[in-house]
């Protein structure tokens, strides 16, 4: 049980660091694009910023799922990579289909993966809202 909790906590921490670095990277990209974003017409540029931010979030979600999938596969919990990725995706998004389960010795990781997914979805939602808010503020200042 302790091994599962430690491993799950480490995977959650890695995922959180990836989220923080991702947000920092997006912010750097948007700061460099500030002159372009603040020129009229604002509407289409805001849509482009939104699309960039959405793809950025999707990339981070994919990375987070792969962190869990590679850990599960590396531990030998699943014999192949595909079921490991599938389980990580289903757990991370809290779908919980139940068609692929962790062995009883590792089942605490499924809840930790789901909790990690909830936290990352929350952080990414905040990132999208803040990106759009900051973009609109910059546009209005010009």
pLDDT at site 41: 94
Q: What integer is the mean pLDDT of 56-62?
A: 93
Name the residue among 107, 106, 81, 104 with its Cα closest to residue 96: 107
Confidence of residue 58 (pLDDT cuts 50, 70, 90): very high
Alpha-carbon separation of residue 42 from 46, 48, 71, 85 (angstroms): 6, 10, 43, 40
pLDDT band at 96 (very low <50, low <70, confident <90, very high): confident
pLDDT of 142 reads 75
**What is the model's pTM?**
0.88
- Residue 84 structure tokens: 């490991």
**Confidence at 1, pLDDT banded by 50, 70, 90:** confident
Cβ pair 89, 99 in contact under 8 A: no
């Amino acid at each position: 049980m302790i091994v599962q909790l430690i491993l799950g906590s480490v995977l959650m921490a890695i995922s959180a660091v990836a989220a923080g670095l991702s947000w920092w990277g997006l912010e750097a990209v948007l700061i460099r694009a500030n002159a372009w974003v603040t020129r009229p017409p604002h509407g289409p540029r805001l849509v482009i910023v939104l699309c960039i931010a959405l793809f950025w979030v999707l990339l981070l979600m994919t990375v987070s799922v792969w962190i869990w999938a590679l850990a599960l596969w590396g531990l030998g919990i699943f014999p192949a990579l595909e079921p490991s990725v599938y389980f990580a995706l289903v757990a991370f998004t809290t779908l919980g289909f139940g068609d692929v389960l962790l062995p009883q010795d590792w089942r605490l990781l499924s809840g930790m993966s789901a909790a990690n997914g909830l936290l990352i979805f929350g952080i990414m939602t905040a990132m999208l809202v803040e990106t759009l808010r900051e973009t609109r503020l910059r546009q209005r200042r010009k």
